[in-house]
Amino acid sequence: MGRRSPELNLERTIKNRKSCLSCENINIIVEYNCYIRKLILFMKHFIVIVLLCTFGTIGAQTYEAGIFAGGANVIGDVGRTTYISPSDIAIGGIFKWNIAKRYAWRASVIYAKFDADDTKSNDPSRQQRGYQMDNSLLEASAGLEFNFVEYNLHKMGPAFTPYLYTGITYVRYDYNYFDAGQFLSVAQRDGTFAVPMTVGAKIRLNQFLILGAEIGARYTFTDNLDSSNPEKLNVSRQLDDLRFGNVFNDDWYMFSGFTLTYTFGRKPCNECFE
């Protein structure tokens, strides 16, 4: 037989290499598809496990919903400087999500009214000045409540603990001012953030009701709850400086009262009522 030409051998070699490369590419594609299928399967199992754990945890919590009722007072440049001295009502709703025996997420909406009277102050200069004012506010607050004692709502028997609460608060209030010693109310409201600091104690009355007593301070980022620093007043451009008192010290307001909440939610299987 005659020899094959070099060109024919080269052509066949190229075809064989192309065939090998095609096989390798096919193998890579098959392996890649297998990897993608395994990854998708793993993600499906992972998502299912996460959802089961999440809903299982949520379903195992106990929730509380109820009311707050008490009084409110302001600490500023008008009236008394006593921290706990309610001058008018405070009332609102409260919700808690007990995520553990020592912790609970908490949210509340509270409406309050308060007044301040210089003649009731222990400061002689305030008594001589004789200013009087009143205001109202609506706050929304959310944060974390910490129990000093493990507070298990899923078991019968006494359940009592002191607690602390803090978080973030947003409050809307009337923006009033004094002019020539006269308290003037205008149709203007303003809002500010505040830092809530609350201490209290609670006891379970029965399987569903919890009674609490608490005192809460709110440090605000405004100096005009008492109408002493109306820098944002709409009419301030036409009037002289209306500020008085310590303009570098923001106001506080206080709540003191009682909470009554109703508990509900599914109990964990390992902590059923005994």
More confident residue, 31 or 60: 31
Residue 148 pairs with which residues in a beta bridge?
Answer: none
β-pair type (189-204, 209-220)? antiparallel
The whole-number pLDDT of residue 76 equals: 94
Which residue is listed with tokens 């009355």? 205
Task: Report the pLDDT value the prediction gives residue 157, as an integer from 0 to 100.
Answer: 64
Instruction: Name the pLDDT band for 50 (thresholds 50, 70, 90).
Output: very low
| pLDDT tens per residue, range 176-185 | 989 888 898 8
Q: pLDDT at position 274, please?
A: 43
Q: Are strands 160-174 and 62-75 parallel, antiparallel or unpaired?
A: unpaired
pLDDT at 270: 47
- The whole-chain average pLDDT of the chain stands at 81
- Range with the lowest mean pLDDT among 24-28, 216-220, 247-251, 268-272? 268-272
pLDDT at 144: 97
Residue 61: pLDDT above 50? yes
Q: In the prediction, which pLDDT does 271 show? A: 47
- Tokens 């104690």 appear where? 201
91-95, 227-231, 270-274: which is most confident: 91-95
- Residue 211 contacts residue 258 (beta carbons within 8 Å): yes
Helix (H) or strand (E) holding 94: strand 88-98
- Higher per-residue pLDDT: 246 or 106: 106
Residue 99, pLDDT above cutoff 80: yes
In 3D space, the residue among 204, 228, 219, 208 whose CA is nearest the CA of residue 255 turns out to be: 219
Q: What is the pLDDT of residue 21?
A: 45
- For residue range 136-182, list pLDDT tens digits in order: 999 999 999 999 998 877 776 668 999 999 999 999 999 898 988 88
Pairing state of beta strands 88-98 and 103-117?
antiparallel
Residue 132, pLDDT score: 95
Q: What is the DSSP letter of 121?
A: S
Q: Which two tokens stand for residue 74?
A: 């302001």
pLDDT for 164? 98
Q: Give the pair of three-digit tokens for residue 28.
A: 């890579």
SS3 of residue 85 by DSSP: coil
- Position 73 confidence tier, pLDDT thresholds 50, 70, 90: very high
Has residue 53 got a pLDDT over 60? no
pLDDT digit string (tens) for 5-31? 555 554 565 555 555 545 555 554 555
pTM of the model: 0.74
Tell me the per-residue pLDDT of 193-217, one tens digit each, with 9 for 90 and over: 999 999 999 999 988 899 999 999 9
User: What percent of the chain has a predicted confidence (pLDDT) above 90?
Assistant: 54
Cβ(197)–Cβ(220) below 8 Å: no
